[in-house]
Amino acid sequence: MMKFISQFWSSRTHKTNLLALLIVLVCAVFSAQHGYADELSKHKILILGDSISAAYGIRQQEGWVHLLQDDITDQATVINASVSGETSAGGLNRLAALLKTHKPTIVVIELGGNDGLRGYPIPSIRKNVQKLITTSVDAGAQVLLLGMKIPPNYGKRYTDGFEQNYALLAEEYRLPLVPFLLESVAGHPALMQSDGIHPTAEAQPLIVQNVLPTLRAMLD
């Protein structure tokens, strides 16, 4: 009789342990699937820019792109493909490979500033940025265009034409536009590095706030 009772409880304990193990496995699978679904539902944002977005002269973690990731981490993953000194043509040369590798849902274009500083022809800049837009859209991504302004070194006609490029392209392709990425930053010596072109670390949160409202609307 005692042997039977011992076998009964041993069998029951074994079944209980198996049931507990099964429950743990089911929960683990569900959790993994849920986490995978969350990752799939996140946006993937590719930022294609120049030194303004590459945190030139400051630490990477101080740059506006890094700070942006902190603000939208629950909604998106940010890939910073910005390179100091990059031109619109240089970005265009890299874009196809970046799209293939990262498959972004949103492409943020912050290019053209170096073209303008070097006095490149306005039609050439426009053509390159236009191609950046169409290539991104053809890859299935939304596009956010970040506008830039330049010093009046080349005269009013060139400066105005350069700035208008962004608005005209945004209108033509019905894109969300941040008219001037460095709004409330440029022209304020305390927020600019000694070269007068690149913003300081203290300016980076302001740049994020220039971008965030427009970008959030694209994430919803």
The answer to whether residues 7 and 58 belong to one domain is no
Q: Which of the residues 51, 53, 82, 88 is marked catalytic?
A: 51
Q: Is 51 a catalytic residue?
A: yes
| Domain range for 121 | 42-219
Q: What is the pLDDT of residue 220?
A: 85
Q: What is the pLDDT of residue 35?
A: 45
Q: Is 195 a catalytic residue?
A: yes
Output the domain CATH number for residue 136. 3.40.50.1110
Q: What is the pLDDT of residue 185?
A: 99
Dist. CA 133–CA 127, nearest whole Å: 10
Q: Which of the residues 74, 138, 195, 220 is marked catalytic?
A: 195
Q: Is 174 helix (H, G, I), strand (E, B) or coil?
A: coil
- Three state DSSP letters for 114-149: HHHHCCCCHHHHHHHHHHHHHHHHHCCCEEEEECCC
The answer to whether residues 149 and 47 belong to one domain is yes
The answer to whether residues 28 and 63 belong to one domain is no
The answer to whether residues 108 and 162 belong to one domain is yes
Q: What is the mean pLDDT of each run of 10 residues along the chain (220 residues)?
A: 52 59 55 46 94 99 98 98 99 99 99 98 99 99 99 97 98 99 98 98 99 96
Residue ranges of alpha helices (H) inside the chain are 2-41, 64-71, 88-102, 113-117, 122-138, 156-173, 204-219
Q: Is 53 a catalytic residue?
A: no
The answer to whether residues 120 and 144 belong to one domain is yes
The answer to whether residues 36 and 46 belong to one domain is no
The answer to whether residues 116 and 72 belong to one domain is yes
Query: Number of structural domains, the chain?
Result: 2
The answer to whether residues 21 and 95 belong to one domain is no
The answer to whether residues 62 and 127 belong to one domain is yes
